[in-house]
Chain A
Amino acid sequence: MDAVSLIGAFSVLAAGLCMGIGSLGSAIGEGNAAASALQAMAQQPDEASRIRSTLFVTMAMVETTALYALLISFLTFYANPFWNYAIEAASTK
């Protein structure tokens, strides 16, 4: 295999792994947050609205790591710097 096809193959693999592993942690974290919030809401139904608004903010913060992984995998798909470099190196040769 030449360098360009290696870079292409590994970019796709890296994007998939990045998304899979990156979303794993935040999925577990969001599940924990939701479980705790539900428990708290069941114990104190009066505070439910306040807990819910805090839950949304927390979820969004936890979700950020998965979104970084998503952006990185978009980057490796559509704006891969190594791929562009290899194409340029091959064309100037």
Chain B
Amino acid sequence: MFENYDTLIIFHFFDIPINATIFSSWIVMSVLMLFSFLATRFLSDDIQTSRWQTLMEMVVIWLRKEIKETSNDNPAKYLGLGLGLFMFILVSNFLTIIPWFRPPTASLSTTIAFALVVFCAIPYHAIQNAGFLGYLKKFIDPSPIMLPMNLFSEFASTFSMALRLYGNMLSGVMFASILTSFVPLILPLSMQVLGLLTGSIQAYIFALLAIVYMSNVGPSLPYVEEN
């Protein structure tokens, strides 16, 4: 009953076992690549744009606005990683409506990998924004007594991000499988619809929290948008 996708071997690729997590990550990656290929195929800044380009522009403009509201900083700095995390998690959570698809986000190794990427991106953006000393100053922020707490929260905040996504997706998947063993008809469908809602919210929250942590140490001068 326990859904552990890391030990579930799908097939062997030249004697290398490929588990369900990696396999469904590849599916999500190929879907994303197909999306971006379709969106950038007839790229134009004319009035007449293709439908896919309009869709992608909507997502990018929306996320740019969100980043600007939360970080008060140049959104282009965080857009790449934020949009990448958001789209990957969103697509993998949305694909759960396809039966037999095992979402890679319901495995702890995927979410820990995401959190590690964010964990490395936090000092990078902080040093870029405020310099090395400005980054170190964050740890003794109210007073040097808080140093162990700040160090601990640096690890705990990113780790809890991974656990949150994993817990949400795992609970959705397991609840569906338990419910299917009781009531195989109709009723699991409503839970799947609820899973779509929580999946999209989780994708939004993961991307937004990553942006909040990355823009925690902001630049000394406020960002002014040039038109």
A interface with B by C-beta (< 8 Å)? 50, 53, 56-57, 60, 63-64, 67-68, 70-71, 74, 77-79
Complex CA–CA separation, A71 to B168 (angstroms): 10
Residue of B nearest to A58 (CB): B205
Known contacts A56-B201, A60-B205; decide if A74 and B164 are in contact (CB<8 Å): no
- Minimum C-beta distance from B84 to chain A (A): 19
- 16 contacting pairs across A/B (C-beta < 8 A): A56-B204, A56-B205, A57-B205, A57-B208, A60-B201, A60-B202, A60-B205, A60-B209, A63-B164, A64-B163, A67-B164, A67-B168, A70-B171, A71-B163, A74-B170, A78-B1
Complex CA–CA separation, A74 to B3 (angstroms): 11
Complex CA–CA separation, A9 to B160 (angstroms): 30
**Is B153 positioned at the interface, with any CB of A under 8 Å from its CB?**
no
B46 CB contacts on chain A under 8 angstroms = none
Q: Say what secondary structure dominates the interface of chain B.
A: helix
Size bin of chain B's contact surface:
20 to 34
Q: Could you mark each residue 199-211 of chain B with 1 if its beta carbon is under 8 Å from any beta carbon of chain A, else 0? A: 0011011001100
A63 CB contacts on chain B under 8 angstroms = 164
Residue of A nearest to B65 (CB): A49
**Is B167 positioned at the interface, with any CB of A under 8 Å from its CB?**
yes
In B130-186, the 8 Å CB interface with A consists of 160, 163-164, 166-168, 170-171, 174
- Minimum C-beta distance from A69 to chain B (A): 9
A64 CB contacts on chain B under 8 angstroms = 160, 163-164
**Is B70 positioned at the interface, with any CB of A under 8 Å from its CB?**
yes
**Is B2 positioned at the interface, with any CB of A under 8 Å from its CB?**
yes
**Is B196 positioned at the interface, with any CB of A under 8 Å from its CB?**
no
